[in-house]
Amino acid sequence: MPGFELLINGKMVPGAASLDVVNPATEALAGTCSRASEAQLDEAVDAAEGALADWAATPIADRRAALMNVADIVSANAQELGALLTAEQGKPLGDAVAEVYGFAVFTKHFAAMDLPVEVLEDGESRRVEAHRQPLGVVAAIVPWNFPLILLGFKFGPALIAGNTLVVKPAPTTPLSTLRLAELIKDALPPGVVNVIADDNELGAKISAHPKIRKVSFTGSTATGAKVMAGAASTLKRITLEMGGNDAGLILGDVDPKAIAPQIFAAAFPNNGQVCIAMKRVYAHEDIYDALCDELAEIARSKKVGDGTEAGVELGPLQNKNQYEKVLAIIADAAEKGTIIAGGAALDRPGYFIEPTIVRDIAEGARLVDEEQFGPALPVIKFSDPNEALARINRSAEGLGGSVWSSDSDAAHALAVRLDAGTVWVNKHGDLDPGIPFSGAKQSGVGTELGREGLEEFTQRKVINIHR
């Protein structure tokens, strides 16, 4: 049985205290793990610093082989890790196992990448080269909605670039990450990867830690701002992927029946607990009623329950605070709009809320103005696409968005003007490890994924040679 201890310098060690983890589907104990002290955080950072020189000097082919081995180990244990992920996070077991495999896929993708020297100039009087070198010790702070796949956004690129890692999962979902650490601890040299858990008291220490050269953070905008403030004290590098209030702009020339399943799937993956889920639907008046009816019918057909139960499509909210927040947002929406599906908590233990569709709603309602991060979707009517686009762009957030139309040229023209880091046309939420992903406005700083995402974990060094 896994002990859910901390990984520090190649060894699983007990924490200074313990942390209880709640199963959100039952509100019972999912497990108890070790909880790191500030001194143990320092030990993990020191271990990463001590391993840095040798790991950075390891040929990239050898680093690649080690990461490929890590991915294979994780894949071989996907069922166990997926079961742990469902127990602590709540998502259906099939989705959890797929997330484990996703970590392996992303790790292999980045492991296969290279960082060749780029020759900027090679003339008679000089040669100029751009080299990519590791930054040093990197901290990866991972949220509770996708503990493993979002670790995969950081793990592979940080390590293939020659950095060492200190990983901190969210306090409500540490079990699968600590078990992953135990499984891979012998696949990498001691200190290259360290994994600690806390109860939200070490984030500020990590952000300001003088020996950490970069923080890669995924989470809320409010917490990301704190990370940015803490990092300023040592001018360390940061990548922040934060909240989004992504809008889908649906033009009047679409077939509501045909696209409603795609819209629903874009809005309710992981029960709406996805940074790039569609959080607002702006639908043209010509198809508004029909689209609302289709979405409501789909919502009423979904099976909500414990992720271990057969046929369950939507699990619980991950934690009590988020559950209570979403219920409060839905209560506000009931006063400012018309609920046509869902709208209530399930009468059973666990943090379950019916998938909810709200029409006749507009800006000024919390469900439109805030990122709900849960199973509730507002459908907002418009008549003029340019006016709707202006309303969408007023949001302080700009992670993603989408435009839907049978006229791809018209959709593209609007997509160019939608103020977000990623805009999809006739789809939403399509992520690929080879495509860079960046947030605009208050949704992010820096880039993840793609070559640009890999380079975020490096220092460019220019060598300018006189001839």
Q: How far apart are CA 398 and CA 419, in angstroms?
A: 6
Judgement on whether residues 230 and 289 belong to the same structural domain of the protein: no
Determine the average pLDDT of the residues in 1-16: 92
Judgement on whether residues 457 and 416 belong to the same structural domain of the protein: no
Q: How far apart are CA 448 and CA 454, in angstroms?
A: 7
Judgement on whether residues 175 and 272 belong to the same structural domain of the protein: no
Judgement on whether residues 222 and 196 belong to the same structural domain of the protein: yes
Q: What pLDDT band is residue 196 in, cutting at 50, 70 and 90?
A: very high
The tally of domains found in the chain comes to 2
The per-residue pLDDT for 438 is: 96
In-domain check, residue 141: yes
Match 């080690």 to its residue by tokens.
66
In-domain check, residue 438: no
Judge whether residue 13 has pLDDT over 80. yes
| CB burial readout 228-248, b (16+ within 10 A) else e | bebbeeeebbbbbbbbbbbbb
Judgement on whether residues 219 and 262 belong to the same structural domain of the protein: no
Residue 182: Cβ within 10 Å count: 18
Q: What pLDDT band is residue 179 in, cutting at 50, 70 and 90?
A: very high
Judgement on whether residues 182 and 275 belong to the same structural domain of the protein: no
DSSP single-letter state for residue 345: B
CB 65 within 8 A of CB 59: no
Judge whether residue 248 has pLDDT over 60. yes
Determine the average pLDDT of the residues in 288-311: 98
Judgement on whether residues 48 and 179 belong to the same structural domain of the protein: yes
Judgement on whether residues 343 and 278 belong to the same structural domain of the protein: yes
The per-residue pLDDT for 38 is: 98
Judgement on whether residues 158 and 75 belong to the same structural domain of the protein: yes
| CB burial readout 399-423, b (16+ within 10 A) else e | bbbbbbbeeeeebeebbeebbbbbb
CB 119 within 8 A of CB 127: yes
List the catalytic residues: 241, 275
Judgement on whether residues 370 and 226 belong to the same structural domain of the protein: no
Determine the average pLDDT of the residues in 194-221: 98
Judge whether residue 391 has pLDDT over 90. yes
Q: How far apart are CA 75 and CA 324, in angstroms?
A: 35
The per-residue pLDDT for 3 is: 83
Judgement on whether residues 219 and 256 belong to the same structural domain of the protein: no
Residue-wise pLDDT tens digits, 209-241: 999 999 999 999 999 999 999 999 999 999 999
Q: What pLDDT band is residue 200 in, cutting at 50, 70 and 90?
A: very high
The per-residue pLDDT for 1 is: 52
Q: Indicate the average pLDDT of the chain.
A: 98
In-domain check, residue 419: yes
Determine the average pLDDT of the residues in 363-383: 98
Here the CATH number for the domain that contains residue 355 is: 3.40.309.10
Judgement on whether residues 224 and 278 belong to the same structural domain of the protein: no
Residue-wise pLDDT tens digits, 79-103: 999 999 999 999 999 999 999 999 9
In-domain check, residue 324: yes
Domain region containing 313: 247-432
In-domain check, residue 1: no
The per-residue pLDDT for 340 is: 98
